[in-house]
């Protein structure tokens, strides 16, 4: 796939600054992505210690993104420590779900300040000794709050599948499981703004039939993320047929953003995009 013009045709790519360019301080990453030829970025919630950080931290990040001429196209709500074992907060009773709720207005306000129209809510791990039905009820309550907040700024709420080998306590480890939550949120709110985040790396690690997933769920997908498998590296470093899968997404009518959410490997992040022609990196 390296250098493939076909893979890039018709796609809009963004860079996830929470997994790429992490060798740099957070505020230097937008400019580094711009120097690599990109015009759009996404982020996990940048402050694992602070669901509601000081306004000065938010302002500094906003200036860094705007100053680099970047478009923010995706933002996670607070989800604990990422990467790490926490894997979400909104379904975890007690302090974590309270931290998620405290973050809702902060995250949507930050997204709005940069014109970001997609907010990702990681579901949260199962907790030993807690009835899964209790967690699911709490999750729905919090997702409804998040969907309503996203709707107020004209944004989509994204629900993501992770993979069982890396996140064994995370309950949404299949596309149908995530779609069921999407449908539940949309039914509860009547807004219709909850959508599926189709991460092809996580789905492949779960052993799903990716062409079938694309055929069934592309119309309900609000965002796509890619990494190769095995290894979660750049396209071409593993065996996942990403060029073919991106083509299937285009044929299925998906014309949204494709987030590059992979590890750069044993090299600087700026060298991890040789598979993607320079002219295909800039998109609006």
Where in the sequence numbering do the catalytic residues fall?
A: 160, 261
First-to-final CA distance of the chain: 24
Backbone phi, psi, residue 279, to 5°: -70, -15
Query: Token pair of 183, please?
Result: 């449908």
Beta partners for 224? 198, 258
Q: How many CB atoms are closer than 10 A to CB 2?
A: 12
Does an H or E element contain 253, and which? none
> In angstroms, rounded to a whole number, what is the distance separating the alpha carbons of residues 206 and 128?
23
Does an H or E element contain 118, and which? strand 118-120
Spell out where 162-260 has E strands. 194-199, 221-226, 257-260
Count Cβ atoms within 10 A of the Cβ of residue 100 and give its class: 0-12 exposed, 13-18 middle, 19 or more buried: buried
User: 206 and 164 in contact (C-beta within 8 Å)?
Assistant: yes
User: 29 and 21 in contact (C-beta within 8 Å)?
Assistant: yes
Query: Token pair of 178, please?
Result: 């995530």
> In angstroms, rounded to a whole number, what is the distance separating the alpha carbons of residues 34 and 276?
15
Residue with tokens 């219709």: 192
> In angstroms, rounded to a whole number, what is the distance separating the alpha carbons of residues 260 and 249?
15
């Amino acid at each position: 796939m390296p250098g493939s013009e076909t893979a890039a045709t018709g796609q809009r790519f963004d860079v996830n600054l929470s997994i790429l360019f992490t060798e740099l301080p957070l505020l230097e990453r937008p400019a580094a992505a711009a120097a690599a030829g990109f015009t759009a970025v996404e982020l996990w919630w940048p402050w694992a210690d602070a669901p509601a950080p000081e306004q000065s931290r938010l302002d500094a990040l906003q200036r860094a993104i705007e100053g680099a001429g970047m478009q923010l196209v995706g933002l996670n709500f607070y989800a604990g420590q990422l990467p790490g074992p926490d894997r979400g907060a909104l379904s975890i009773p007690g302090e974590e779900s309270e931290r998620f709720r405290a973050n809702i207005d902060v995250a949507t306000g930050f997204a709005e300040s940069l014109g970001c129209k997609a907010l990702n809510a990681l579901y949260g791990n199962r907790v030993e000794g807690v009835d899964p039905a209790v967690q699911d009820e709490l999750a729905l309550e919090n997702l409804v709050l998040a969907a309503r907040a996203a709707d107020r700024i004209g944004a989509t709420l994204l629900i993501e599948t992770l993979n069982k080998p890396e996140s064994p306590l995370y309950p949404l480890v299949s596309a149908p499981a995530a779609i069921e939550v999407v449908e539940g949120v949309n039914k509860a709110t009547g807004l219709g703004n909850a959508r599926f985040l189709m991460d092809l790396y996580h789905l492949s690690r779960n052993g799903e039939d990716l062409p079938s997933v694309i055929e069934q769920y592309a119309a309900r997908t609000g965002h796509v993320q890619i990494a190769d498998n095995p290894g979660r590296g750049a396209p071409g470093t593993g065996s996942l047929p990403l060029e073919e899968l991106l083509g299937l997404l285009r044929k299925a009518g998906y014309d949204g953003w494709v987030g590059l959410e992979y590890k750069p490997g044993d090299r600087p992040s700026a060298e991890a995009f040789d598979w993607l022609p320079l002219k295909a990196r800039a998109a609006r």
